[in-house]
């Protein structure tokens, strides 16, 4: 008897000390890691993970992420992440997420777009026939048609990084969560110590590999636009590897509660 599909994967996490900032709240990268790990578990359960695809000379890569955060969970807090495949078309498969606290109240919602590529050629292949039809739950946690994100119109800040060994994932390129960390580290000091991102959109445009030098250029909001805009470049190749748009909110009065 064929087993029924698991349409929604539900995973529980606890915010650990090394995932928390100086005020005892989860880092943005920790939240992104929870989403990634929930997706990994679902793919493993249903046997369409990077390991199964690798046997066919294929792998998953993420194309877009859009995350809305209602609040950042505290150190020691237990949270639940639910994820499901929310659609597919052409070269793209969609995956959505919901994060809730112990009382079932929503903490965050996210949607993402993924591609399957050939490992050797790095060329995308259509997901039809490779991604199970009966696994799709046509429900969105966050509506987004993934339009092209804007580039910066002026340079307000610039930061450079070197790709470290720990930044790499199973595909031996920079893990998608690292880009969110670069986005945060590319912000000015006064923002880092007074606010957090409550909305993040990432468009992954090219790969980056060990030892390469990365530059983040940042444009701050103005009277016409409440979003920070960033572009990330690989200085080793000259390619734009990611484009990011984010909205930040000042700390609330209880942000130091651990």
According to the model, what pLDDT value does residue 4 have? Answer: 75
φ and ψ at residue 135, rounded to 5 degrees:
-100, -10
According to the model, what pLDDT value does residue 84 have? Answer: 98
Q: Domains in the chain, start-ordered, CATH in brackets?
A: 1-146 (3.10.129.10), 149-258 (3.10.129.10)
In the chain the first and final C-alpha atoms are separated, in Å, by 49
According to the model, what pLDDT value does residue 147 have? Answer: 95
Rounded to the nearest 5 percent, the helix, strand and coil shares of the chain are 20, 40, 40
Rounded distance between C-alpha atoms, residue 198 and residue 69, angstroms: 5
Q: Which residues pair with 89 in a beta bridge?
A: 92
Residue with tokens 């859009």: 66
Mean pLDDT (the chain) is 94
According to the model, what pLDDT value does residue 1 have? Answer: 43
List Cβ neighbours of 108 (8 Å cut-off, separation of 6 or more): 31, 67, 68, 69, 70, 97, 98, 99
Residue with tokens 């991102």: 197
In angstroms, the Cα distances linking 40 to 51, 52, 170, 186, 192 are 10, 12, 12, 28, 30
pLDDT along the chain (258 residues), means of 10: 80 98 97 98 93 93 97 97 95 97 98 96 90 90 96 96 96 96 96 96 97 98 91 97 97 69
According to the model, what pLDDT value does residue 256 have? Answer: 60
């Amino acid at each position: 008897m064929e087993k029924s599909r698991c349409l929604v994967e539900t995973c529980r996490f606890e915010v650990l000390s090394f995932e928390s900032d100086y005020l005892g709240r989860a880092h943005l990268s920790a939240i992104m890691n929870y989403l990634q790990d929930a997706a990994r578990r679902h793919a493993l359960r249903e046997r369409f993970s990077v390991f199964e695809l690798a046997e066919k000379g294929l792998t998953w890569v993420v194309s877009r992420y859009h995350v809305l955060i209602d609040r950042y969970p505290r150190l020691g807090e237990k949270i639940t992440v639910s994820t499901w495949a929310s659609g597919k078309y052409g070269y793209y498969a969609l995956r959505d997420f919901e994060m809730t606290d112990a009382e079932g109240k929503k903490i965050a919602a996210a949607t993402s777009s993924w591609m399957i590529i050939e490992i050797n050629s790095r060329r995308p292949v259509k997901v039809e026939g490779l991604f199970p039809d009966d696994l799709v739950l046509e429900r969105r946690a966050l509506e987004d048609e993934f339009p092209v994100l804007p580039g910066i119109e002026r340079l307000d800040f610039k930061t450079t990084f070197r790709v470290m060994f720990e930044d790499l994932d199973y595909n031996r390129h920079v893990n998608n969560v690292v880009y969110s960390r670069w986005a945060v580290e590319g912000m000015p000091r006064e923002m880092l110590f007074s606010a957090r991102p409550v909305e993040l959109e990432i468009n992954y445009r090219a790969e980056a590999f060990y030892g390469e030098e990365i530059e983040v250029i940042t444009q701050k909001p103005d009277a016409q636009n409440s979003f920070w805009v960033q572009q990330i470049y690989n200085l080793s190749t000259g390619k734009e590897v990611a484009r990011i748009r984010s909205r930040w909110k000042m700390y609330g009065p209880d942000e130091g509660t651990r």
